[in-house]
Structures are given as structure tokens and as C-alpha cells.
């Protein structure tokens, strides 16, 4: 049942007087529940509880932590009907997406548990130097704060990848619930609290705090007993939290996965031979989830010519047949609309897509723009992420200019190349340039669709992420919450 209260360990707590509601973006009306923002005292209670739980939780066996993750997965499956209903009411996303995302979240929990408990993951390094025994192990860093995102209420929020990986590492977690989906957050938090209790773990292993203002999140980041932060969201938000954590007397790591425009490069030959197939794939990738994915293809780079002209003609035609989709909230919709209009007005930018204003509020208008390479290079503002169904096509005069365009890009989560196998010279030049900018290189594909697996890397140079060495998706994401400890001549019973 949704009570609107904070989950502090095993207790539901609501001592504050700041209240807020989530909205249903489809009906543009407030949802029925009222949430109570955590007070300064409640924030402190949650962190103190996490700190007290830390030592014993960090010493639990990896099998117990795996059991915890499995119990959370089971609890989510048992509550799936109500979870999906509230998810849809708070996000405006369709039921099919809610089901896929819930399944992904459950899979993440189980697979991180299995990988984190595997021999491979827990390998230690041991050697003897001049009669001294050295053993290097990994230990959890301490209580971790998780900021979930608006666009993944299940998979990158309360029981999402950051929470699953931190718990598997042995770090207690305090979630700063997302203000757009606090009802989904409360239900998921209840599942986690029950799993903590049924595994006989200390209650401070998990808390979930409500907040509509930034105050709660900022207090959490500044609390001296918090030792790390996981964040998924915008560049502005991630950077603000990173800066705050760096200004602490004891700076702590912030693993923020932020914005990306995910360049997709096409060779002329590829467009000539398979342009129509690519139109279908790219439109789907651009519109999935109303374009509200961090791997949305926001930038398409190709050489000027008849193959590109034909591709764009078909692109616009297919786009014109797509229905507008509901966006996550009025604020996400308004920020999308404002930003796309700003980009439409920049020097040399041509709007290719038909501009039909959707009849329903909070519905998106897919936007495709085109700009010449030289003008793209002159205006770095064109690289700003427009969160939603939006792409800019950069039309280049030559391969040299195309490479310059790639070289001018900020750090990205992904970079894609679609060309023929035999175009090795072009491919090598493009892949070399892209590899310096991205966390994942894709050949013959689209950037959306991030597999949860050990070989996945979901990260990249800044501003895609604050630390390009780590991934936010896949079992290796657990490594973010561990630090090496060298044991010199320490007896084995420790």
C-alpha cells in the first residue's frame, strides 16, 4: 500500500510537513497519493542506520548477498501487478514497456548476484615478496547514496542497477527517491526492506527517502558517513552532485551516468544499398520510449550526396506517419520542446520533419534537423542533448570533414558505424576517431538496446559519465563500490 512515507530501515517514517504528489502525464492530473519529504533528522537517521549496518553487512558472505538480491527479484515478481499499474500512472509509459523494464530489473538483480558470487569476480592476488605474504582483496567502500532517473523507474531507480550492484558489493544503500515516481519507489522500497529482514540482515542495509526539493539529496551527499554516490540523469544534475561531493572535506566518488547524443555514422555505400532498411531501424531507435533513452541516436553523420538525400526523404516520410507519444512529465516535455526549438533556430539548421503540434498535452513531436558539417563545427551548442525523439543529421562535404566532426564531439556512451565490410579504410578512420570519444563502439547497428551482460560497458568519457573507467550496466558495475585492500602477513582467519 502507498502511504507516502519514507522507508528508514524497517520503519515507515513521516515526520516532515513538506508534501508533494506525482502526476499522471497522460491525463495531466495529480495522482491520488501524497508524499512527505524527509526531514533533516530523517536523512540523518537513515545515514546513521546505514553506517551502523555497514560493518556487519560488509562481512556477510557473498552467498547471503546473492540471496538478498534473489529475494528482492522474487518480491518484485510477486508484486508485479501493482508495480506496473503505479509505474504507468507515474511515467505515462505503456504497459508493455513497464513489463519489459520490470523483467530487466529482475534479471539484473539475479545476474549481478550470480556474477558477484562467482569465483571469477572474487579472484584475489597473492604473492610472497622477501618472505612477506601479500594478499590483495576488495572491500566495500561504505554507505552509498543512489539517485534514480526519471526515465527508468524500475531499472535505474530504487531497486535498479546502482542499488543491486552496491548491495552485492556489501554497501548499505540509501535511495533518494525520484520526485516523478515516488509511489513506484515506495512499493519497491517495501519489497527491498522485506527482503533485508527475511535474510536476517541489519535493517540499515536499505532506506528510501522522499524528496521534491534538492535539499534531501544534497544533505545525503554531504553527510560524512556517506562514502559513494550513484547517479543516473541529466548532465546538469550529475555535475552538480559531483561538484558537491568534491567540495566535501573528504571527497567521495560519484559515479554519474549522464547525457549522450550517440553519434551514428553512415558510409555513402551503405546508404545507397540499404538506406531504406536503416530508415526503419533508426526511426524505431529514435522513437522508442518517446526518445527518452540515454542511448537515443541524437546525431547522424554522413557524406553529402544523392544516397543521403534519398535516405532523408524516406526518413521524413516514415517519421510523419508516427503518432506522438506521451513524455515522462510536463517538465520533461516542456524542456524537450524548448530545447528542440532552440536547436531549430541555430545558424544553418534546416528542419526536415513536418511540424504538427500534438493535440494532447505532454505529447512529443519527433524532430529531425539537418546542418552542414562546417556549421556543426562552428556551433558546439548543437551537441547539447535534447532528451526526447530528436536527431540532427550532419551533412559532410568529405571524409576529412566527417572525421573532424567526430573529433569535435564531447564524450559519449556509444558511437556507431554503419558501412560495408570491405570499406576498411573508411571504417578504420571512423572507428579510430570514435574510439577516443565513446564507451561502446557499435558496427552495423543502432545505439539503443543495452544488454545486461559482463562484457557490456555503459559509460564513457565525460560528460557521458564522471568516471570513464567504470560501467553502470552489467556485473562489473559492482566494482564501483569496492576498493582494494592489501593484507600483509595478515592471518587467513581475518
Q: Which stretch binds ligand NAP (CB under 6 A): 107-115, 229-237, 356-364, 416-424?
A: 229-237
Torsion angle, CA of 228/230/234/240, rounded to 10 degrees? -10
Asked if 332 is part of the footprint of ligand NAP (rule: CB under 6 A), the reply reads: yes
CB 146, min distance to ligand NAP, A:
9
Asked if 214 is part of the footprint of ligand NAP (rule: CB under 6 A), the reply reads: yes
Angle formed at CA 19 by CA 13 and CA 20, multiple of 5 degrees? 120
Q: Which stretch binds ligand NAP (CB under 6 A): 19-27, 173-181, 270-278, 359-367?
A: 173-181
Cα distances (angstroms) measured from residue 93 to each of 1, 259, 289, 356, 473: 21, 21, 7, 22, 22
Q: Which of 185, 217, 253, 324 touches ligand NAP (CB under 6 A)? A: 217
> 294 an active-site residue?
yes
Q: Which of 115, 147, 206, 426 touches ligand NAP (CB under 6 A)? A: 147
- Among residues 79 and 218, whose Cβ is nearest to ligand NAP? 218
Q: Which of 64, 82, 240, 316 touches ligand NAP (CB under 6 A)? A: 240
- Among residues 149 and 353, whose Cβ is nearest to ligand NAP? 149
Asked if 173 is part of the footprint of ligand NAP (rule: CB under 6 A), the reply reads: no
Asked if 444 is part of the footprint of ligand NAP (rule: CB under 6 A), the reply reads: no
Q: Which of 218, 351, 399, 408 touches ligand NAP (CB under 6 A)? A: 218
Asked if 176 is part of the footprint of ligand NAP (rule: CB under 6 A), the reply reads: yes
Asked if 410 is part of the footprint of ligand NAP (rule: CB under 6 A), the reply reads: no
Residue 60 near residue 201, CB atoms below 8 Å? yes
Q: What are phi and psi of 364, to 5 degrees?
A: -85, 155
What's the chain's Rg over C-alpha atoms? 24
Q: Which stretch binds ligand NAP (CB under 6 A): 114-122, 142-150, 390-398, 454-462?
A: 142-150
Q: Which of 179, 285, 353, 416 touches ligand NAP (CB under 6 A)? A: 179
> 396 an active-site residue?
no
Residue 351 near residue 365, CB atoms below 8 Å? no
Report the alpha-carbon distance of residue 419 to residue 266 in Å, rounded: 6
Asked if 416 is part of the footprint of ligand NAP (rule: CB under 6 A), the reply reads: no
Q: Element (H or E) spanning 439, and its range?
A: strand 438-443
Asked if 402 is part of the footprint of ligand NAP (rule: CB under 6 A), the reply reads: no
Across the strands, what pairs with 265?
301, 417
Cis ω for the linkage preceding 463 (within 30 of 0):
yes
Across the strands, what pairs with 231?
147, 256
Q: What are phi and psi of 180, to 5 degrees?
A: -85, -20
131: left (phi over 0), alpha (psi -120 to 50) or beta: left
CB 365, min distance to ligand NAP, A:
15
Binding footprint of ligand NAP, residue count (CB under 6 A):
25
- Among residues 62 and 339, whose Cβ is nearest to ligand NAP? 339
Asked if 335 is part of the footprint of ligand NAP (rule: CB under 6 A), the reply reads: yes
Q: Which stretch binds ligand NAP (CB under 6 A): 117-125, 174-182, 359-367, 390-398?
A: 174-182
Q: Which stretch binds ligand NAP (CB under 6 A): 9-17, 176-184, 341-349, 404-412?
A: 176-184
Which residue's Cβ has the minimum distance to ligand NAP? 237
Asked if 150 is part of the footprint of ligand NAP (rule: CB under 6 A), the reply reads: yes
Report the alpha-carbon distance of residue 249 to residue 319 in Å, rounded: 51
Torsion angle, CA of 468/471/477/483, rounded to 10 degrees? -10
What are the grid coordinates assigned to 2, written together?
502507498
For 441, other C-beta atoms within 10 Å of its C-beta total 15
Which single residue is written with the C-alpha cell 527517502? Answer: 209
Asked if 322 is part of the footprint of ligand NAP (rule: CB under 6 A), the reply reads: no
Range 350-379, binding ligand NAP (CB under 6 A): none
Which residue among 88, 294, 326, 465 is the active-site one? 294
What are the grid coordinates assigned to 415, written together?
558511437
Which residue among 67, 186, 203, 257 is the active-site one? 257
Rounded to 10 deg, the angle between the 95-116 and 62-78 helix axes is 170
Residue 82 near residue 278, CB atoms below 8 Å? no
Asked if 20 is part of the footprint of ligand NAP (rule: CB under 6 A), the reply reads: no
CB 99, min distance to ligand NAP, A:
21
Report the alpha-carbon distance of residue 104 to residue 319 in Å, rounded: 28
Residue 396 near residue 301, CB atoms below 8 Å? yes
Q: Catalytic amino acids?
A: 257, 294
Residues in contact with ligand NAP by CB under 6 A are 147, 149-151, 176, 178-179, 211-212, 214, 217-218, 232-234, 237, 240-241, 259, 294, 331-332, 335, 385, 387
Amino acid at each position: 500500500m502507498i502511504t507516502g512515507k519514507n522507508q528508514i530501515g524497517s520503519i515507515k517514517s513521516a515526520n516532515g510537513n513538506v508534501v508533494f504528489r506525482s502526476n499522471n502525464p497522460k491525463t495531466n492530473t495529480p495522482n491520488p497519493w501524497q508524499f512527505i519529504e524527509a526531514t533533516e533528522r530523517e536523512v540523518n537517521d537513515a545515514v546513521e542506520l546505514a553506517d551502523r549496518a555497514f560493518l556487519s553487512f560488509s562481512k556477510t558472505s557473498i552467498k547471503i548477498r546473492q540471496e538478498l538480491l534473489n529475494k528482492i527479484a522474487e518480491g518484485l515478481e510477486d508484486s508485479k501487478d501493482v508495480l506496473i499499474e503505479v509505474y504507468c500512472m507515474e511515467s505515462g509509459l505503456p504497459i508493455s514497456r513497464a513489463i519489459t523494464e520490470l523483467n530487466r530489473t529482475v534479471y539484473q538483480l539475479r545476474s549481478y548476484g550470480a556474477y558477484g558470487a562467482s569465483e571469477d569476480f572474487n579472484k584475489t592476488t597473492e604473492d610472497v615478496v622477501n618472505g612477506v605474504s601479500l594478499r590483495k582483496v576488495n572491500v566495500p567502500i561504505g554507505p552509498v547514496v543512489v539517485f534514480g532517473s526519471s526515465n527508468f523507474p524500475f531499472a535505474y531507480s530504487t531497486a535498479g542497477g546502482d542499488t543491486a550492484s552496491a548491495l552485492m558489493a556489501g554497501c548499505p544503500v540509501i535511495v533518494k527517491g525520484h520526485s516523478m515516481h515516488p509511489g513506484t519507489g515506495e512499493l519497491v522500497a517495501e519489497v527491498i526492506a522485506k527482503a533485508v529482514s527475511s535474510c536476517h540482515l541489519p535493517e540499515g542495509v536499505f532506506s528510501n527517502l522522499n524528496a521534491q526539493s534538492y535539499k534531501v539529496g544534497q544533505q545525503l551527499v554531504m553527510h560524512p558517513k556517506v562514502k559513494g554516490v550513484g547517479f543516473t540523469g541529466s548532465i546538469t544534475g550529475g555535475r552538480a552532485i559531483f561538484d558537491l561531493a568534491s567540495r566535501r572535506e573528504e571527497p567521495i566518488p560519484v559515479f554519474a551516468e549522464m547525457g549522450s547524443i550517440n553519434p551514428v555514422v553512415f558510409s555513402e555505400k551503405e546508404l545507397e544499398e540499404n538506406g531504406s532498411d536503416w530508415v526503419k531501424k533508426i526511426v524505431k531507435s529514435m522513437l522508442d520510449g518517446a526518445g527518452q533513452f540515454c542511448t537515443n541516436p541524437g546525431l547522424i553523420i554522413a557524406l553529402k550526396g544523392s544516397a543521403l538525400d534519398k535516405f532523408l526523404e524516406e526518413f521524413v516520410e516514415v517519421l510523419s506517419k508516427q503518432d506522438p507519444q506521451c513524455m515522462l512529465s510536463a517538465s520533461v516535455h516542456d524542456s524537450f520542446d524548448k530545447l528542440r526549438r532552440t536547436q531549430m533556430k541555430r545558424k544553418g539548421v534546416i528542419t526536415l520533419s513536418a511540424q504538427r503540434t500534438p493535440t494532447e498535452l505532454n505529447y512529443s513531436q519527433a524532430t529531425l534537423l539537418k546542418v552542414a558539417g562546417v556549421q556543426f563545427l562552428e556551433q558546439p551548442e548543437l551537441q547539447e542533448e535534447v532528451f526526447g525523439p530528436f536527431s540532427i543529421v550532419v551533412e559532410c562535404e568529405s571524409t576529412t570533414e566527417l572525421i573532424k566532426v567526430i573529433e569535435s564531439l564531447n564524450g559519449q556512451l556509444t558511437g556507431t558505424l554503419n558501412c560495408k565490410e570491405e570499406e576498411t579504410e573508411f571504417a578504420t578512420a571512423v572507428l579510430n576517431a570514435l574510439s577516443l570519444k565513446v564507451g561502446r563502439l557499435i558496427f552495423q547497428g543502432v545505439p539503443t538496446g543495452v544488454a545486461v551482460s559482463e562484457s557490456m560497458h555503459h559509460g564513457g568519457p565525460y560528460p557521458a559519465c564522471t568516471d570513464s573507467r567504470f560501467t553502470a550496466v552489467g556485473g562489473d558495475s559492482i566494482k564501483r563500490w569496492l576498493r582494494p585492500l592489501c593484507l600483509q602477513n595478515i592471518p587467513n582467519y581475518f
